[in-house]
Structure 1
Amino acid sequence: MIGQKIIYSLLCLVLAVSIVLWSCSDDDDDDQTMGMLESALDIEAIMAHLEQLELIAQGNNGHRAAGSSGYDQSVSYIRETLSNTDFIITEQEVQVRYFEETAPPVLEMISPENTSYTWGTDYVTLSYSGSGDVHSEIVFIDPMIPPGETDNSSTDGCEEEDFQNIDLTGKIAVIQRGSCYYHIKATYAEQNGASAVLIFNEGQAGRQEVISATLTAGSEVTIPVLGLSYNLGYKLYTLTQTGQTVEMHVTVTALDEWTVASNIFAETASGNDDQVIILGAHLDSVTAGPGINDDGSGSAALLELAYQIASLGYKPVNKITFAWWTAEEDGLLGSEYFLADLLANNPAALGRIAMYLNFDMIASPNYIRGVQDSDQSVIDSGFEQTPPGSGDLEQSFLDYFQARDLPTVPVGISRSDDVSFFNYGIPSSALATGSAGLKSQNEVALFGGTAGEPYDPCWHRACDTTDNIDQEILLQNAQAIASVLESYGDIQGPLFDTRTAVSPGAMSPSHAGHYHALPLE
């Protein structure tokens, strides 16, 4: 009898140890803690979507810009991938202004030296630049050289008075970046007789590279406008200060026309349509490259998440809509049109949008793990207020990463499509891994990578390909999106304690616009 008790006790001990060992297994622990949607995501599948977007760009002049055949094929790829699912797929046409250079631009000095400059290193063409072939003297307006200690110290070319007593007739205006929109600088220059405009970077750390931006889709500038590096602008300024006349040759040849491009939406067939959750990413690239991080990364993560929702048969309590926006790079045209159209034609549907999450550039190779400071508790992004509930969304992402011992840093409100929703009083948040800013030593200590280098050295360039993707951070962000979505998707009752409706524009920041495409200073 005693022997049997000993054997029984030993068996219980072995069983207990086995259970403990089983429960401490890394793989099984992951399965225990991951939600259904989070665990279903696979980096190979997400990368497969990115490879398809890159192939589309390769077959269409190297890009997927809104209004181009590459963009239209990207929309078709989203539709085809979800075609045999229960998602309700719709498209919405948006008027967009399509701009593409049809010949290589030219920038060269004619005198006192004969020098040809390199596209991408010394200069690029600003989107919506006018076309023209100009040989003329350059004239600086009112630069701050050396630059001020802080960004936007220079007000060069921001007021019409800056151009008084300067003869610009037929000449090339050279203006420093800072404190106002690029199209304002270019417009004043053209109105005062300039035949072309060169806008050079301001000169502080992180503001020395070539300016890659747009004059906004509403620009009426008709003369060539190029963006220059600070180094080139400084060299030209130094030459003019010696009393020499500097003559330049500027050429831009571009197609500029209004056309249509589509937002595409995938909506769950089930779920409470009085509380709609929208997740969005912009599907368009710039014309300079295929846009695989910006913003193929967000687009592909959402596409694979939608596909897994359908494959798993997940039925959310609250309706979920995936949105792939057009013409974000042109000034948030797709998301702004969507909301304005609802306000005009279906305000009840606008009121049923409970929250919005935006994912623009979530796989930068020299990344930060950025969570948007959606309530501006740390970073003042210029909004008088942000919609109640936005801080809750931010905290959901912070809690997710903290539970996995993954450090984060706050990032400002991104000036991407989330701004459109902020402006309509809809609780919003976002993840981002950085674009043209330079990584700090403190950020290297948190995330690794290289200090003093851009988060994405291929931002808005032809090298923004699948080779430009950090797969580890892409999967981590995709899984965070899935986890947060599932938690809100399964909530019974109100998603937030408070929800305050506001009129459109009531929450606009003092400087509205896109943080990495519009000419926001």
Structure 2
Amino acid sequence: MRARSFIPGATAVSLAVTGALVAPGAATAAPPWTQLEDLVSGDAVMEHLEAFQAAADAGDGSRAVGTEGYEASAQYIEKKLKKAGYSPERQYFDVEQFSVLDFSLDVPGVTLDAIPMSYSSSTPDDGVSGTFVQPVDANLNGCDATAWDGVDATGQIALIQRGACSFAAKSIEAAAAGAVGAIIYNNGPGALNGTLGGPEDPAAPYAPVVGVTQAEGQAILAALDADPSLEATLDLQTLLETKETFNITAETKKGDHDNVVMLGSHLDSVDEGAGINDNGSGSAAILETAIQLSKIKKPNNAVRFAWWGAEELGLLGSEHYVYDLVDNAPEELDKIATYLNFDMVGSPNYIIGVYDADESTYEAPVDVPAGSPETEDVLTDYFDSIDQPWVDTEFSGRSDYQAFIENGVPASGLFTGADGVKTEEEVEMFGGTAGITYDPNYHSPADDITNVDPEALDIMSKAIAHATQELASSTVAINGVDTSGPGKKKGHDKWEDGTKPGHGLMDAA
């Protein structure tokens, strides 16, 4: 899972809207009254995760973009989809891939396990050294020029707390104040493995920047109190190179293709590991849902599945997909009734989280398209019907639904937690351990096959299956479109004022 960044200068690629379920009898049919959640199990999803782990192990231990593990994971998905009767297709695009060539950070008297932030600029070849300087805003967040008013940061190392704005904004403002490097420390427990979202703008260059834990930041502050002349030495050499990667899409042959229900999960991991929870879990869950969907009666609405590439580089695969539609086939984007996103659904210290599209708990920091609360209701109503506790998680756009909601497509999704800290109240609801993160192995080599909670995986996989079947049956509550009866396939309902329901496209960014 990765925060949103920028729209890449990707290659022009034609839309991959795929047909499916073309082979009669390709999957053993279930009775037409079968509930999809009864066919989808956490055990079956775990088998897919074991295949993803094997794909990583056969390569360099990762399933990141450009690795053998990513390609092998994709081939596994394609093989399973074809066996179920689908015709999966790849949509290729170019990305700027970031890598760290060399890195060291030394602060005398302080032990650090710092992590360079993705897309950070490099220091000079021999590194930089400087005393520490901090912004003057109340929380030391350093988010704008006023936070550096009266501070001469020239040639110094900025020490900044996480929060209130993006890491990129902090790095840019530190550089504008004259800092030659920046250390951002977490504002809660856990490692800080951040991204600046994309390559720097020459008009707003980054300061070379790394992340440290909250405890490490406090240790630096304590050392600085003891010695205000304390210096840090930072050597960070990075590289950006263009690589080709791809999304995978597959769509049911049957159902109304003018009213499409779409599910997506990102397939890539971070470089550091196999990414079995983040996000093999979501990818495996929608794969099993697609396989089992092929066994039940035809849907009223077509269902499209997507496995996104390069999410960990800044949501690039989903952004490419959506903005390719915006630029080349906006009428196809308008046919997507709703989009459901599944990014991390097996966290070891899990919550059962639903994107808070109705803002009943969290005010969304993004515009929430009409129809999103009704999409959320499909998920929460299901949990309520089986007496499964759940909590809202912020509808923040910080995953692959961002490009969809930016262009008016309703959305919701499920989430078992990443680097947030579990509360005592959540322990009462879901078990687990308070005071530590939902996934202590988030973005680390330890996010392997042992890093998935089978109970969470089963709960969420069945919820995904239920929502898929419900929305394949009807999206009337979301967009007013009725495809359920004779004459309805092409005859979409209208609102009382005579206008066609659905979402309108915003201007492309």
When normalised by structure 2's length, the TM-score is 0.82
Give the match for residue 503 of structure 2.
Answer: 501
Q: Secondary structure at the match of 2:82?
A: coil
Once the two structures are aligned, what percentage of the paired residues are identical?
Answer: 37
Name the residue aligned to 1:109: 107
1:408 paired residue among 390, 398, 403: 390
Cα distance in 1 for partners of 2:191, 2:467 equals 38
Q: Which residues of 2 match residues 198-347 of structure 1 at below 5 A?
A: 198-202=183-187, 207-220=188-201, 221=205, 224-310=208-294, 312=295, 314-347=297-330
Alpha-carbon distance between aligned partners in 2 of 1:188 and 1:493, rounded to the nearest angstrom: 47
Whether 2:164 is the aligned partner of 1:179: answer yes
How far apart are 1:64 and its partner, in Å? Answer: 1.9
**Unaligned stretches of 5+ in structure 1?**
1-30, 145-152, 509-521
Report if aligned partners of 1:134, 1:196 keep a CA contact under 8 Å in 2.
no
* C-alpha contact 2:379 2:467 (8 A) present in aligned 1: yes
Residue type at the aligned position of 1:107:
L
CA distance in 2, matches of 1:474, 1:67: 27
Kindly provide the CA deviation profile for residues 93-128 of structure 1, in whole angstroms up to 9, marking residues without a partner as x: 22222123345x322224xx4x5x343xxx211111
Q: Secondary structure at the match of 1:241?
A: helix
| One-letter amino acid of the structure 1 residue matched with residue 172 of structure 2 | T
Report the alpha carbon displacement of residue 258 of structure 1 after superposing the two structures with TM.
2.3
Q: Do 1:35 and 1:483's aligned partners in 2 also have CA atoms closer than 8 Å?
A: no
Alignment of 1:81-160 (within 5 A): 81-103=80-102, 105-110=103-108, 113=109, 117-119=111-113, 123-132=114-123, 133-142=126-135, 154=139, 156-160=141-145
Which amino acid letter does the alignment assign opposite residue 107 of structure 2? M
Give the corresponding residue for 1:190. 175
**Are 2:350 and 2:439, in contact at CA under 8 Å, matched by a contact in 1?**
yes
Structure 1: distance between partners of 2:260 and 2:169: 39
Cα-to-partner distance string for 1:252-286 (whole Å, 9 max, x where unaligned)? 34332222211110111121101111001111112
Partners of 1:100 and 1:339 in 2: CA distance: 26
The alpha-carbon deviation at position 408 of structure 1 amounts to 1.2
- Measured against aligned partners, the alpha-carbon deviations of 1:361-396 in whole angstroms (never above 9, x if no partner) come to 111111111122212233211234x22322222122
Kindly state the Cα deviation for residue 440 of structure 1 after the two structures are TM-superposed.
1.1
Determine the C-alpha separation between the residues in 2 that align with 1:282 and 1:505.
25
Q: Distance in 2 between matches of 1:175 and 1:485?
A: 43
Aligned equivalents of 1:58, 1:251: Cα separation in 2: 31
Q: Does the 8 Å contact 1:290/1:465 carry over to 2?
A: yes
Please say if 1:41 is aligned against 2:40.
yes
Matched AA of 2:65: A
CA positional deviation for 1:494: 7.7
Task: Check whether the contact 1:364–1:468 (CA below 8 A) recurs between aligned residues.
Answer: yes
**What per-residue deviation string (whole Å, max 9, x for no partner) do you get for residues 170-206 of structure 1?**
432222222222112222333444332211123xxxx
SS state at 2:88 partner: strand
More moved, 91-100 vs 296-305: 91-100
Note if contact 2:100-2:236 (Cα within 8 Å) is conserved in structure 1: yes
Structure 2 residue ranges without an equivalent (≥5): 1-29, 481-494, 496-500
> Which secondary structure does the structure 1 equivalent of 2:311 belong to?
coil
Q: Residues of 2 paired with 1:230 and 1:200: CA distance?
A: 5
CA distance in 1, matches of 2:37, 2:190: 38
Shift of 1:86: 2.4
Aligned partner of residue 180 in structure 1, secondary structure: coil
- 3-state DSSP of counterpart to 1:274: strand
Give the CA deviation at 1:155. 5.3
1:4-42: per-residue Cα shift (whole Å, max 9, x none)? xxxxxxxxxxxxxxxxxxxxxxxxxxx999944222223
Distance 1:418 1:222, change over 3 A: closer
Superposed displacement of residue 505, structure 1: 6.7
Residue 293 of structure 1, CA deviation: 0.8
CA distance in 1, matches of 2:305, 2:232: 49
Q: Structure 2: how far apart are the matches of 1:252 and 1:73?
A: 32
Superposed CA deviations along residues 378-431 of structure 1, whole A, max 9, x for unmatched, are: 3211234x2232222212212211221211111111421122222222221111
Query: 1 CA distance for matches of 2:89 and 2:32?
Result: 35
The 2-side partners of 1:79 and 1:125 are apart by 34
User: What one-letter code is carried by the residue in structure 2 that aligns with 1:183?
Assistant: A
Deviation of the 1:163 alpha carbon: 3.9
Give the corresponding residue for 1:382.
Answer: 365
User: In 2, are the aligned partners of 1:357 and 1:428 still within 8 Å (CA)?
Assistant: yes
Equivalent residues in 2 for 1:479-494, closer than 5 Å: 479-491=462-474
SS where residue 88 of structure 1 aligns? coil
Counterpart residue number, 2:492: none
Closer/same/farther in 2, CA of residues 239 and 302 from structure 1, 3 Å limit:
same
The verdict on how the C-alpha distance between 1:326 and 1:354 changes in structure 2, with shifts beyond 3 A counting, is same
Matches within 5 A, 1:455-466: 455-466=438-449
Q: Which amino acid aligns with 1:39?
A: D
Paired residue secondary structure (2:105): strand
Distance 2:69 2:277 in 1: 16
How far is 1:330 from its partner? 2.5
Q: Is the 8 A contact 1:108 1:248 kept in 2?
A: yes
1:63 shift after superposition: 2.1
Match for 2:85: what amino acid? Answer: D
Aligned to 1:393: 375
Partner of 1:79: 78
The 3-state SS of whatever aligns with 2:216 is helix
